[in-house]
Amino acid sequence: MSVLRRTPSRPERSRWLGAVALPCSDPVGLNATGQSIRLYAGSHFHWRVNVFDSTDTACVPWAAEATEFVQISHLPGYMTMFWKRVLVPSLTRQFDRIFIMDNDVRLTPQLGFSPRLLDRWFERTGASILQPSVIASEQRGRSGTGIKNHHAFTADCVAHQIGSPERVYVTKPEAYEVLWRLLQEIPDERLSTDTGLLSLWTKLTCIDFPRRPPCVMVNSVQVVHFDTRTISKAGLDPLYNDPRVNKKKNTLFYLWNHPRYGRLTNGSYDPYPGHECGVVASSVSDLGLDSAGKPVPLKTMRQKAEERRRVRPTCWGLLDDTR
């Protein structure tokens, strides 16, 4: 006698809002964004696109193909101004997920990008913010930074906690509002950079939603980064790198001197020293791997003892495919 398998019930689809700020002067980024929006825009995935260097929409012809689901704005300034002025709570509260995307990133199901799949990772991890793994568009290109760089992973640690996301992440609307409220406290003239902003946001999210992992990277879901150097081309590099300029104008130094956020920003105050929100890996070796993706050997008894004493980073293994 054959046994019929019960088909797993699918949960109700979540509503996503995608958001990207881009210049008309970046054809590679425009093409990557266009491919992503053409593929994913729909009744459950709306988009807000800010063209910050022009009032003409001719450079984004793909937006006209999905006018019901894509809206264009023309707010000058860095992406943080777009978040502050356009992605306001009256808009973001209409959605279950807020997806912030850099202007030189491409999404594709070939690399596992799927709203349904990421929804399952939200459920699995309980995280406030998820970041897909960022891979380079070519062999010598730039991907993520540090532990946020795409790296080898094991089945028992497909996703792990990180200290802050890159400029491509998915967040729950209540966590996004933590960022939005923070932006209201920063003068507009300081928002030509985002240095330190996302790291502070992650810490504040831990404070507002304790015992919930604030930010988790999912290695098995990847996006492509083309590194079109929008910041450099806009002449904003000195705001990041020149000490004669950045102390007076960038976000990080403003936050360092802020009466409420200074100690959180410079790391001198940890609101949860007992790892109540989870443990962040500082390097891939903390995940038991070396830079080549091979297991890190423990050569001596002393090293083995140190390994046992070390607090392990917070990891999650494979999802249950029967659900």
Run of H or E residues at 276: none
Report the DSSP beta bridge partners of residue 152. Answer: none
Run of H or E residues at 128: none
- The reply to whether the predicted model has a pTM over 0.85 is yes
pLDDT value, residue 6:
44
Query: d(Cα 53, Cα 26) in Å, to the nearest integer?
Result: 10
Q: Give me the residue spans of the domains in the chain.
A: 16-227+240-316
Q: What is the mean pLDDT of residues 102-109?
A: 95
pLDDT band per the 50, 70, 90 thresholds, residue 176: very high
pLDDT value, residue 291:
59
Task: Provide the CATH number for the domain formed by 16-227+240-316 in this structure.
Answer: 3.90.550
Q: Name the phi and psi angles at 117, rounded to 5.
A: -65, -45
| Cβ atoms < 10 Å from Cβ of 10 | 8
The separation between CA 114 and the C-alpha centre of its own chain, rounded to angstroms, equals 15
pLDDT value, residue 229:
73
pLDDT band per the 50, 70, 90 thresholds, residue 269: confident
| CA distances from residue 191 to 78, 171, 196, 202, 229 in whole angstroms, order as listed | 7, 21, 11, 18, 18
Q: What is the mean pLDDT of residues 208-224?
A: 93
Comparing 41-50, 116-125, 157-166, which segment has the lowest mean pLDDT?
157-166
pLDDT value, residue 96:
98
